[in-house]
A and B are shown apart, each in its own frame.
Chain A
Amino acid sequence: MIFKFTEENIKRIETARKKYPTALAAVMDTIYIAQEQNGFISNEVMEEIASVLGIDKVNVLSVVTFYTMYHTKPMGKYHVQVCTNVSCMLRGAYEIWDGVKDKLGLDHMKVSPDGKYSLEEVECMGACGYAPMIAVNEDYFENLNKEKVFEILDSLK
């Protein structure tokens, strides 16, 4: 399947490009824009990124595979992230993690068959003082317990 950036996104990429003296430096911003448009970064998407920035596809590939926030496979409509690092763990993160795994019937980096949920055990999210926390897509939910987490999950349509 051929992937093309929308005109609006091409403009956003041009804006990002202006921040840097080299085109390569705009690759991270461009991958984010592509992920927003396509949901994940496929081979075709990488080709388009490379051609829009005028860089080698291998450069795109090496960056996409290094950072955990870029996905090479489709994730769920709601990407649920549970932090289990120390500060969260001390305040019950593993109960939440086990509870969420159970409730969604998913494991780390798995997607539900209907594509609604995906699940990820994440490292410290910088919310340690408001632990435990989860994030759904880009939104943080803090000061939680298992019940509150279930309420949040139930509210996702």
Chain B
Amino acid sequence: MERIVLPQIENFNQIEVYLANGGFESAKKTFAKTPDQIVDEVKKSGLRGRGGAAFSAGLKWSFMPKTTDKPKYLCINGDESEPGSFKDRQIFEDNPFQLIEGAIITCYAIGAKVAYLYIRGEYNKWIKLMQKAVDEAYARGFVGEKMKETFGIDFSCDLFIHKGAGAYICGEESSLMNSIEGLRGYPRVKPPFPAQRGLWGCPTTINNVETITNVPAIMKNGWEWFSKIGAPKHPGTILFGVSGHVNKPGVYELPSGVLLTDLIFNVAGGVRGNKRIKCVIPGGSSMPPLRGDQLEGVRMDAESLKEVGSAIGTGGVMVMDEDTNLLKVLIRIAHFYHHESCGQCTPCREGTGWMEKTLRRIDEGNGTSADLDLLISVANNIEGNTICALGDAAAWPVKFMIARFRDEFEKYVNKNISIPVPNKVHSMRGTAIPLTEIQK
């Protein structure tokens, strides 16, 4: 399988090696086209955002106004703070120049003169690596004024890194823009959308790091090539970050639509100690969890995961084995969202606190079955009633974890229930051999 975002070429993060393998040729080729053509091709390629919502990248670009006297901006989102996500840092480390090439192509396509690459503050090491790569790209005339000469075009753009300072909410696009402007990272009410009024009130496009890194490959090999990789409605490869109770956790680039069981058992080496799986969160901690007995046949792309009641999110797959205490996991998740809520909207600010408190009460042995219903009702009251999607992100894990693992949660609130064989219902195969084969 060809890798698009993280090619297996040694020292690809060195500019000489990148250039020797056709680096910046794609930009050169692309600059001969009109911006409209590029937007159209990216649209037809089917590239969807890798930052969580899987929105069509080309469509998003097409929202940028063509005639405006205001400057336009590109923001590249490398805040990467969703628990379970650790893929963008692999791009910073292994393929910084393709990200830079993607940035200049995107700037050209949407007419932006400046791109900001927002990287979370904790990634100090990766910020330094990225800054070094950006400096080299400037020195060689691939970014900045010298682009005009290098590519023989009447266009140039700048690329600046903006260092975050520890706030998950700044990954949300409007909060990210406030953070770049030097304000508190409070999400803005939408509409107006960023393409209308973004950074400093100017038209702005925000895309994830991985999304942008795909762009040079699409321009080089054509949209048709890209659209045929993986799942037709969500084509391309995806960087899956597998963590938790697997033998070989890590970042794996695979075609979209890969079987979740393949990813876990073949690619990530299966579950530690050959235990069975109780629960998998397929796309970072905000996404609805799947039961161990729900995994068979599940494919890892936006549409397939939607069908089974979850979402692709950031592709961060968290695997939990049969001995996991889901109450403790859910408390930790609820604590995270409570801690990260910016406090602007009452349902989110109060609701996240209530959910954490109620879950802790259950953990202390003072919960009842009614508390479980209360939790679901609090989650329902947050969902859809807030300024930004952190509210939904906080509500989903609570709502779906309890609904899908009600049997287990009943056990936590009712000491008289004992499940002698833990997780009998959730039990799945513990090997790479599909269940159907075993049953034969």
What is A's interface to B at a CB cutoff of 8 Å?
19-22, 24-29, 31-32, 55, 59, 62-63, 66-70, 84-87, 89-91, 122-131, 135, 138-140
Contacts and interface: CB of A to CB of B under 8 A. Distances in A.
Contacts, number: 137
B162 A87 contact: no
B244 A67 contact: no
B249 A59 contact: no
Contact of B81 (A87, A123, A138): A123
Given A86-B285, A90-B320, A123-B339, A24 B85 contact: no
Interface of B: 71, 80-86, 88-89, 116, 120-125, 160, 162-168, 179-185, 200, 241-245, 249-251, 281, 285, 316, 318, 320, 324, 328-329, 332-333, 336, 339-340
Contacts of A135: 122
Contacts of B285: 85-86, 124
Query: Most A CB atoms within 10 A — which of B80, B122, B163?
Result: B122
A69 B182 contact: no
B84 A124 contact: yes
A129 B182 contact: no
Contacts of B245: 90-91
A124 B243 CA distance: 12
Query: Most B CB atoms within 10 A — which of A24, A122, A123?
Result: A123
A123 to B, nearest CB: 6
Contacts of A86: 83-84, 244, 281, 285, 318, 329, 332-333
Contacts of B120: 126
Given A25-B182, A59-B182, A128 B165 contact: no
A102 to B, nearest CB: 20
Contacts of A124: 81-85, 285, 336
A31 B164 CA distance: 11
Nearest to B90: A129
Given A128-B241, A129-B86, A84 B250 contact: no
Contact of A128 (B83, B167, B179, B180): B83
A152 to B, nearest CB: 16
B336 A123 contact: yes
20 contacts: A22-B200, A25-B181, A28-B165, A32-B163, A32-B165, A66-B167, A67-B164, A67-B165, A68-B167, A89-B328, A123-B340, A124-B83, A126-B80, A126-B89, A126-B120, A127-B86, A128-B83, A128-B316, A131-B243, A131-B249
Contacts of A70: 165
A33 to B, nearest CB: 11
Contact of A138 (B71, B83, B125, B183): B125
B181 A126 contact: no
A54 B100 CA distance: 32
A68 B123 CA distance: 14
B83 A87 contact: yes
A50 to B, nearest CB: 12
- Per CB-CB distance, the 6 closest pairs between chain A and chain B, nearest first, are A67-B165, A68-B166, A69-B166, A24-B182, A87-B243, A124-B83
Contacts of B251: 129
A22 B244 contact: no
Query: Most A CB atoms within 10 A — which of B184, B318, B324, B339?
Result: B184
A31 B163 CA distance: 11
Contacts of B200: 21-22
A21 B80 CA distance: 26
Given A66-B167, A66-B184, A67-B185, 10 more contacts: A28-B164, A55-B182, A86-B83, A87-B243, A90-B243, A124-B81, A124-B285, A126-B120, A128-B316, A129-B241
B422 to A, nearest CB: 16
Contacts of A19: 116, 160, 162
Nearest to A55: B182
Given A91-B244, A124-B83, A129-B251, A66 B324 contact: no
